[in-house]
Structure 1
Amino acid sequence: MATLREIRRRIAGVKSTEKITKAMKMVAAAKLRRAQRALLAARPYSNKMFEMVQRLLEGLDVTENPFFKERQLTNVAIVVITADRGFCGAFNSNIIKHTIERVTTQYADFHDGKHIKLITIGRRGSDFFARQDIEIYARHPNIFGNLTFANAKQIAGEIINGYLEGEFDRVEVIYNQFRSVLRQEIVVDQLLPIPGRSVTSSEKIKIQKEFIFEPDKETILESLLPSHIEQRIWRMLLESSTSEEGARMTAMDNASENASELIDTLSLQYNKARQAAITKELLEVVAGADALKAST
């Protein structure tokens, strides 16, 4: 059985840990609010950009456009977005596990010249996959400490150049989409080639009545597509960053609650041990007094 000194030492250690987890929860909450504001500001712009691309696609034959043309799959790039830091529950491990499952199931038949190439964003994923037998096309660790649109633009340019030069025939992104503080959903989005969509007849009539395009749809679409890719990458980075802080705040809150419960348990154990020690001492005193009486 642990001694009183050992229990006191353990209580002090848990209290110290509780202070740290509470502080980390407060920091994560502040960062979460900032990340949410940035995400909520980016979502409408991203959605409108997507709608604009869809409107421009109406009536156009883009089957030979390199941004839309489906190729025979030889090389596939998977962009994996993790965090730079830990202490956020299973946030990073779930993304890594999902990526490995996708590589080993969806692309299990890739051999004889076919390759999977990873573009890792975030230090946790970059460090993990650097030790695996998978080709790393590009690494972007430690970008979430000071995340800006310039980061998204750089990554998008790297992806677009590699895709247009034939380095890969498809680009997928695996990341956490922010649903709520308590819920982050792993999403796999195809970035390139850009998936088309069918437009209903009512949408066609509406589109034809609403807009006259100048100079022409093809020119506008050609200049808009790189910005569209940049905006999608930016939104994915913000989704992941917000999800990370939500996961960290939840993890630190759970850790603080567990620490509090452990302190209560240890305090009860300490009080019981102290009571037992006092009772033992009293019994020894009484026994000694009885022995003195018996000897007189």
Structure 2
Amino acid sequence: MASAKEIKTKIASVKNTQKITSAMEMVAASKMRRAQERMAASRPYAENMRKVIGHVAQGTLEYKHPYLEVRDAKRVGYIVVATDRGLCGGLNVNLFKKVVSDVKKWKEQGADVEFCPIGARSVQFFKSFGGEVSAHASGLGDAPKLADLIGTVRVMLKAYNEGKLDRLYIVFNKFVNTMTQTPVIEQLLPLPKSDEEVASYPWDYIYEPDPKEVLDLLLTRYVESQVYQGVVENIASEQAARMVAMKAATDNAGEMIDDLQLVYNKARQAAITQELSEIVSGAAAV
């Protein structure tokens, strides 16, 4: 058994760690509220944008935009959104497992794959995983701006426009609630059609000034908005996962302190018993 002094030192060390995890839990809770507000503010725009584009994709269009054309999938691109920092439980691991599983299916069909990681952990993962990385972004902070993502997104859009990509997906953690964050893979290009029922006869929108000009701008903005929404959802998920992980670490530290305190008391009691035994033995010898 370790000496009482060693156990006492260990208890002090665990208490210091507990203070750190407790502070990190409170910081994550504060950041999570702000991240949720940003996510809630942008989510209606992103969802309505998706509905409008899905409706456009079902029309009999005068101008068929390249983003609406379905091509044979010979090359697939993934924009993978992960965190910049760790200590958030299995959030990133579950996301990467989902990506690897989906990539495996495409490779079995003979398609090549390339990646665009967003977030330091995503960049680090794909360096070790292998595969072609076309562009990357990291260090976006807790309040990312669309301008920080446009350059990275445009690289993937340019590859799609040039025919170097036939499918484009975004992968991120969708915030459900504080305890639940679900990794999802959503198709960006070609544009997914809406599930809503539309008229069976041919129809189209009336565009001003010109369908090409309007759709070029609208569909590019659509892709950018979906990537931005994925990033803010992922940040809210990160803070929630970190808060839960740090709370679990704080609770575990408390249990460990209780166990060590019990061991310390036993060691101290054994030392006192031994001292008394030695005193009694000495007295008896005299």
Q: TM-score, normalised by structure 2?
A: 0.91
Cα distance in 2 between the residues matched to 1:264 and 1:258: 10
Report how many residues are paired.
283
Query: Offset of 1:132 from its aligned partner?
Result: 2.9
Query: Offset of 1:5 from its aligned partner?
Result: 1.2
SS in 1 for 2:32: helix
Q: Counterpart of 2:179 in structure 1: which amino acid?
A: L
Q: Counterpart of 2:47 in structure 1: which amino acid?
A: N
Cα distance in 2 between the residues matched to 1:262 and 1:84: 30
Deviations 1:154-183 (A, max 9, x none): 333222222111121101111110011111
Cα distance in 2 between the residues matched to 1:106 and 1:62: 33
Indicate the residue corresponding to 1:132 in structure 2. Answer: 129
Alignment pair present for 1:163 and 2:163:
no
Indicate the residue corresponding to 1:97 in structure 2. Answer: 97
Cα distance in 2 between the residues matched to 1:40 and 1:228: 18
Indicate the residue corresponding to 2:256 in structure 1. Answer: 262
Q: Contact conserved, 1:80 with 1:119, CA < 8 A, in 2?
A: yes
SS in 2 for 1:139: coil
Indicate the residue corresponding to 2:208 in structure 1. Answer: 215
Q: 1:59 to 1:167 in 2, by over 3 A?
A: closer
Cα distance in 1 between the residues matched to 2:62 and 2:14: 62
Q: Contact conserved, 1:56 with 1:221, CA < 8 A, in 2?
A: no
Q: Contact conserved, 2:54 with 2:192, CA < 8 A, in 1?
A: no
Q: Cα RMSD (Å) of the superposition?
A: 2.3
Q: Counterpart of 1:218 in structure 2: which amino acid?
A: P
Query: Offset of 1:29 from its aligned partner?
Result: 1.0
Cα distance in 1 between the residues matched to 2:43 and 2:114: 28
Alignment pair present for 1:251 and 2:226:
no
Cα distance in 2 between the residues matched to 1:200 and 1:132: 42
SS in 1 for 2:185: strand
Indicate the residue corresponding to 1:181 in structure 2. Answer: 178
Indicate the residue corresponding to 1:3 in structure 2. Answer: 3
Q: Counterpart of 1:249 in structure 2: which amino acid?
A: M
Alignment pair present for 1:277 and 2:274:
no
Cα distance in 1 between the residues matched to 2:55 and 2:96: 36
Cα distance in 2 between the residues matched to 1:109 and 1:218: 36
Cα distance in 1 between the residues matched to 2:138 and 2:115: 13
- 1:8-23 paired onto structure 2 within 5 Å: 8-23=8-23
Unaligned runs of 5+ in 2: none
Unaligned runs of 5+ in 1: none
Indicate the residue corresponding to 2:59 in structure 1. Answer: 59
Indicate the residue corresponding to 1:27 in structure 2. Answer: 27
Query: Offset of 1:148 from its aligned partner?
Result: 1.1
Cα distance in 1 between the residues matched to 2:98 and 2:269: 52
Query: Which of 216, 236, 244 is the equivalent residue of 1:242?
Result: 236
Cα distance in 2 between the residues matched to 1:104 and 1:2: 51
SS in 2 for 1:273: helix
Q: 1:5 to 1:264 in 2, by over 3 A?
A: same
SS in 2 for 1:89: coil
Q: TM-score, normalised by structure 1?
A: 0.88
Cα distance in 1 between the residues matched to 2:283 and 2:62: 102
Deviations 1:131-152 (A, max 9, x none): 2331111121222355112123
Query: Offset of 1:197 from its aligned partner?
Result: 2.6
Query: Which of 182, 188, 191 is the equivalent residue of 1:191?
Result: 188
Indicate the residue corresponding to 1:44 in structure 2. Answer: 44
Deviations 1:14-65 (A, max 9, x none): 1111111111111111111110000000011112222333444453338942
Q: Contact conserved, 2:79 with 2:115, CA < 8 A, in 1?
A: yes
Q: Counterpart of 2:108 in structure 1: which amino acid?
A: A
Q: Counterpart of 2:145 in structure 1: which amino acid?
A: T
Deviation beyond 6 Å, 4+ runs, structure 1: none
Higher-Rg structure is 1
